[in-house]
Each structure stands twice: as structure tokens, then as C-alpha cells.
Amino acid sequence: MKNGRIAGTGSYVPETIWKNEDLEKMVETSDAWIRERTGIGARHIAGEETVAQMAVKAARRALENAGICSTELDLILVGTSSSESIFPNTACLVQDEIGAFRAACLDVSAACTGFLAVYELGQLYIRSGKAKNVLLIGADALSRLVDWNDRSTCVLFGDGAGAVLLGEGDSLQSIHLTAKGDPQVLCIPQPPSNSPFDILPPQQPFLQMNGKEVYKFAVSAFCSDVTEVCSQAGIQPQQLDWLIPHQANLRIIESALHKLKLPSQRCLTGIQRLGNTSAASIPIVLDEANTKGLLHPGDWIALSAFGAGLTTGACVLRW
């Protein structure tokens, strides 16, 4: 079964860094509260850059790392929920910039699970023989969608993009996505329209979250997803060389590691420097690990994500 091999990775975060101390000047919060509750110390914030521009930078790096030319791409899939335009989709904007004229282009909306969602779709294209080279991107700028007067959410998020070139090969051992539809617990309503026919009640177009509910769901889904994909791959979670989880909250990650009996040294994180970059969080940390030479051929790696929807996804691959 040929279900794709990660042939290259790339990532990009904006230059501007906002530390917890900077946020102390904007809302009633403290470095101590943010670190203790979330593990976050700083985050990168997009000013002039769009989600598509960040995605393009990550994509170029992934293509270079894989030694693939953009014209060889058959498909570009972008997991995002913060594109500046409803259409064209971000994948088309990336295609235009990098000159991938042969590629079909789709965005997938699955919030922070976006990267796992595009991974699953990309590997299906490769397995079916319909595509040889698929560019997978997770890119988000949730800093533009949080309410900067709401201290319980604005401290959590950062912006960035990560990309993976999925080529022919057979490194993916198992992957699965789940959903538990819930309209309330974590949502971003669209801004009100000016349609004279629109009688929907207007809502604030900012991220709204029941943090405690998301927290409980995340720990439980994280553990059951990783256990499930490990079992499908024929290994115990303790046999993983690396776990790269969605970077939402260090306490969620630590709690799940404890339940999975996995030492923290085998878990790769970037949340301390990056905050929650939503769909970008897993491919950014994957690229950092690849660039640092931490990943060795044959390593067992699990990726695990959860996000609004509620959605979850996890996979096991051999590097």
C-alpha cells in the first residue's frame, strides 16, 4: 500500500513577537498566570502578512527541502480557518504565488485539526494513484479573530504556517479523524451581513470558547486517538519515538502524556515560543524537528490534534 511519504517540510512564523509581558500592558493578565495555566511565554503575530503569504513562505521551504519543483505538484490542500478571503481559497492563492499550475487546490475547515484533515485527504489521493506530489499546509492567523479585550482567549493564540510535501512512498501506518459536533463550545461567528433579508441575530465575530469544556474534551480525545492509531499501527504508545501534539496548552499535553505513560522528552513542543497556531501548530513543530535533525529513519512518530467542531485527528508514521 502506497500512502505517501513525507519528502520535505517547511514552516514560517511572522517576525513580530509578543511576549506575555507585552500582553500585561493590553489586558488584565500576568506572565505568571499565562505560563502556569498554558505554558505559553510568547507568540508571533502577523501584522501586514496574510495567511496565504505565510503559507507561501512555508510551502517554498517544504518544496526546497524535498527538492521538488512547484510545477510537479498535483494537489495543494490547506487546513485553515482564518483565511482573509472566503474565496478564492488559500490553496489557490498559494498556487498562484508559487506557480503550481498543474495542481488542484482546496481548503479544508477543521480548525486546529486542519493539518491532520489535509494529511488524511492527501494520502488518499496518493493511495488512489490520482496524485504523486501533494503539498499539505496548515496556516492560521487567529490573532485576527480573537477579541483583544477578552483576556481568557487573546493570550492563547499565535500566527504561522507549516507545510509538508507528501510524495510517493509508504511512511503512514495509520490515521483517523473524528468529530463531535457542538455549535457552542468553541466557535467564531461570521460578521453580520448588510443583507436586507438577513434576520439572523447578529453575533460578535470573535473567537468564543468554553475553555474548561475544551480542556476536558482535549485530554480525553488526545489519549483515545493516540491509543487508537498506535493500535492500528500495531504498536503501544510507549513505543513511540516522538509525539507531536497540537500545541494548545502545555497542561493538556502533560496530562495526556501522563495518561499515555510517555516520557515528556519524547514529546515535541513549541507552544512556549509560539502559542497556539491552530492548524499550523503540528507542521511547524514537525519542521523544526526535521530541520534540527531530531528525526531518524525508522522513528515511530505520532501526530495528534483537536479543535473546534469539535474535531480530532491522529496518525502514526515511520520517518
Residues that bind ligand ACO (CB under 6 A): 29, 33-34, 37-38, 111-112, 151-152, 155, 186, 211-212, 214-215, 218, 248-249, 252, 276, 278, 307-308
- Active-site choice (20, 89, 105, 112): 112
Question: What DSSP state is assigned to residue 212?
Answer: H
Provide the greatest CA pair distance for the chain.
60
Could you tell me the smallest distance in angstroms from the CB atom of residue 233 to ligand ACO? Answer: 25
Q: What does the chain come to in residues?
A: 319
Three cell numbers written together for 249: 496548552
Angle between helices 90-98 and 51-66 (to 10 degrees): 50
276 is catalytic: yes
Q: How far is the CB of 186 from ligand ACO (least distance, A)?
A: 6
Question: Please, which residues have CB within 8 angstroms of residue 84's CB and are 6 or more apart in sequence?
Answer: 50, 51, 52, 144
Cβ proximity to ligand ACO, 186 vs 303, nearer residue? 186
- Shortest approach of ligand ACO to residue 284 CB, angstroms? 15
Q: For residues 94 and 271, which CB has a smaller minimum distance to ligand ACO in the complex? A: 271
Distance CA 105, CA 217 (A): 32
Residue with cell 499539505: 136
Output 174 or 249, the one with its CB closest to ligand ACO: 249
Helix axes 114-128, 281-291, angle to 10 degrees: 70
Nearer to ligand ACO, 244 or 248 (CB): 248
Q: Which of 92, 105, 246, 249 is catalytic?
A: 246
Task: Choose the catalytic residue: 65, 89, 249, 276.
Answer: 276
The amino acid present at 89, given as its one-letter code, is N
Active site residues: 112, 246, 276
